[in-house]
């Protein structure tokens, strides 16, 4: 049984009048236990909103979500947050704004244990010291404040805060995008080590397709609130089937400077469409080089083009 299941999960924001922003629109996918599912797409595609809605930080507008076979409520109440936060946690994108500047590292990392109750101050302090060591920080750092740390160190504090209560499922919301390239690999390797040692299940949200391929078992490509391609990470990266995925990968820079200088660059034309009151048809139609009249009329349904490789496109 998958650990996470969503069935046409949606999150819409009412902008007033008849304006409705369709941030996430009918996403159906599963995440197996001890799997890393990578979620990629341009800014504004709905990746972060999907992760936050999945773990109850946003109320669902429609669809269903299940954790370990149990239905998750559409709107989390205080009791739901307390219960499910023990199982599901989030590592936020911005290590600068996600940590309370008025709290010490001890209080930030130990807050989850304090809220759960049943732990003395000494026990919390020991647990914080242990987790700081596990993420590569010194236990003496627990008396310091967030402004005394670099971006990479703050992200490690955020990881320790999420992990200290032993969750089974963690949403990593672009955990490396605000970090220097030299630090990104360290954080990704740390997450992979924790996944292996603790049996974690991760939803890894990122822009960098190469990094997602490296760290993930499977990759989902999201465009304007919908998943347009889903499959094994290597299969999606090296053999993309959806026109949007192909263009995303072609626009991904080559690590070899010589190859990057000489290869043909094919930019994605146009801007991502507005998610406010989207009409019928394929969301990518305005930017797609293979657009037909059918693309304007009908929303494509998912089709399995290869084993475990699903694409939503009228080409198939």
Neighbours of 101 (CB within 10 A): 10
Output DSSP code: residue 264: P
Query: Which residues fall within 8 angstroms of residue 241, CB to CB, at 6 or more apart?
Result: 229, 305, 306, 309, 311, 313, 315, 316
Beta strands in the chain (DSSP E): 4-16, 19-31, 36-40, 62-67, 70-71, 88-91, 169-173, 201-205, 218-223, 226-232, 302-306, 309-312
Measured distance CA(84)–CA(82) in Å, rounded: 6
Q: What string of DSSP letters covers 216-251?
A: -SEEEEEETTEEEEEEEHHHHHHS--SHHHHHHHHT
Read off φ and ψ for residue 194, nearest 5 degrees: -65, -40
Is residue 144 one of the residues assigned to a domain? Answer: no
CATH of the domain at 260: 3.40.50.300
Measured distance CA(130)–CA(124) in Å, rounded: 10
Measured distance CA(112)–CA(188) in Å, rounded: 23
How many domains is the chain built from? Answer: 1
Q: What is the pLDDT of residue 126?
A: 96
Is residue 58 one of the residues assigned to a domain? Answer: yes
Q: What is the pLDDT of residue 264?
A: 64
Is residue 288 one of the residues assigned to a domain? Answer: yes
Read off φ and ψ for residue 168, nearest 5 degrees: -95, -30
Is residue 110 one of the residues assigned to a domain? Answer: no
Q: Tokens in use for 9?
A: 């999960």
Is residue 50 one of the residues assigned to a domain? Answer: yes
pTM, full prediction = 0.91
Is residue 157 one of the residues assigned to a domain? Answer: no
Residues for the chain: how many in total? 316
Output DSSP code: residue 123: H
Measured distance CA(81)–CA(66) in Å, rounded: 15
Measured distance CA(276)–CA(222) in Å, rounded: 17
Is residue 107 one of the residues assigned to a domain? Answer: no
Read off φ and ψ for residue 252, nearest 5 degrees: -75, 125
Is residue 215 one of the residues assigned to a domain? Answer: yes
Measured distance CA(16)–CA(63) in Å, rounded: 22
Which residue reads 């244990």 in tokens?
A: 113
Measured distance CA(64)–CA(272) in Å, rounded: 27
User: Which parts of the chain register pLDDT below 50?
Assistant: none
List pLDDT tens digits, range 41-84: 988 899 999 999 999 999 999 999 999 999 999 999 999 988 89
Q: Tokens in use for 312?
A: 């939503």
Which burial class, exposed, middle or buried, applies to 25 when counting CB atoms under 10 A from its CB (0-12, 13-18, 19+)? buried
Beta bridge pairs of residue 40: 221
Which burial class, exposed, middle or buried, applies to 293 when counting CB atoms under 10 A from its CB (0-12, 13-18, 19+)? exposed
Q: What is the extent of the structural domain holding 23?
A: 4-87+167-312
């Amino acid at each position: 049984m998958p650990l996470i299941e969503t069935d046409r999960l949606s999150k819409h924001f009412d902008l007033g009048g008849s304006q409705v922003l369709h941030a996430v629109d009918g996403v159906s996918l599963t995440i197996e236990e001890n799997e890393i599912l990578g979620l990629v797409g341009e800014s504004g595609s709905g990746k972060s909103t999907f992760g936050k809605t999945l773990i109850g930080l946003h109320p669902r507008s429609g669809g269903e979500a299940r954790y370990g076979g149990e239905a998750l409520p559409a709107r989390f109440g205080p009791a739901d947050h307390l219960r499910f936060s023990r199982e599901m946690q989030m590592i936020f994108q911005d290590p600068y704004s996600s940590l309370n500047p008025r709290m010490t590292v001890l209080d930030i990392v130990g807050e989850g244990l304090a809220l759960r109750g049943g732990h003395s101050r000494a026990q919390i302090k020991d647990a914080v010291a242990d987790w700081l060591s596990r993420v590569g920080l010194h236990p003496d750092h627990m008396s310091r404040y967030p402004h005394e740390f670099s971006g990479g160190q703050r992200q490690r504090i955020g990881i320790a805060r999420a992990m200290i209560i032993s969750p089974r499922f963690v949403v990593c919301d672009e955990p490396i995008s605000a970090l220097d390239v030299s630090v990104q690999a360290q954080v990704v390797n740390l997450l992979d080590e924790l996944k292996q040692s603790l049996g974690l299940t991760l939803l890894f949200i990122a822009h960098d397709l190469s990094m997602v391929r490296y760290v993930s078992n499977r990759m989902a490509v999201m465009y304007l609130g919908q998943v347009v391609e889903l499959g094994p990470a290597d299969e999606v990266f090296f053999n993309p089937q959806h026109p949007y995925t192909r263009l995303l990968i072609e626009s991904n820079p080559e690590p070899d400077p010589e190859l990057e200088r000489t290869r043909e660059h094919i930019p994605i034309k146009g801007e991502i469409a507005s998610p406010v009151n989207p009409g019928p048809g394929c969301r990518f139609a305005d930017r797609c080089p293979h657009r037909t009249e059918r693309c304007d009329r009908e929303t494509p349904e998912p089709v399995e083009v290869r084993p475990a490789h699903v694409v939503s496109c009228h080409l198939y």
